[in-house]
Structure 1
Amino acid sequence: MRLLIGFDLLDRQIVDRDGVPVGKVDDVELSDDARHVTALLTGQSALGGRFGGVLGRWITATTGGAEPRRIPYGLVALVDSAVHLSIKRALLTPPALEAWLDQHLIGRIPGADRAEG
């Protein structure tokens, strides 16, 4: 299927197989020959790279050096008004900020290891 990256992918909501929001497509990763999308990128560092200039550098600086979340394009089941994944959100690598908060803040709360999520 042919897609126009700027029209069909960028800024689209990403949802998992159950319709649970995952994030928005902030940028894409292309194959070496730039003919195929290999991954969807989400997060401020991906978005900052798209803006470029002073604003882009400022947005990227607020991430503390965190890499964007990378979702392999092979997990995309359907692209319509949203990008639908073939798996549940819980099976994806969490965003860098979410992982950091879990390790350094949430994980230190007594009983947090018994919380259901």
Structure 2
Amino acid sequence: MLILREAFYGTTRFDDFSRRVGITDASSAARLRELVDAGILVKQPYRPDKGRTRYEYILTRMGEDLLPVVLGLMQWGDEYLQDDDGPLNVVDAQGREVHVRITDDNGSEVQMNELRVRIT
């Protein structure tokens, strides 16, 4: 989950994932491989300063579609778990906080007790 969170923050390079998440290179490699195998990230080559080929990890459309799930978990954690660093606020380009909500096709918020499941 931490690797995925970093991908949403814009991290793409292997060394940055390891450093920012605070795990070993072996653990980073294993987690990144799992996310690539699952289709959440894609591995793309690049050549910094015409040096040897390296790879960066880019979110796929499938990976981008996980953003509401990750933001929802962040909101939940901010509400119920204490963190010494305090909550991270996700904002739009104008600086307004964004929130994950359950809405209907018209954009109206739906309360949990109003939800039903049907087979389509």
- Structure having greater relative contact order (Cα 8 Å, sep ≥ 6): 1
- TM-score, scaled relative to structure 1: 0.26
TM-score by length of 2: 0.25
Structure richer in strand, relative to its length: 1
Q: Of the two, which has the highest radius of gyration? A: 2
Greater helix content: 2
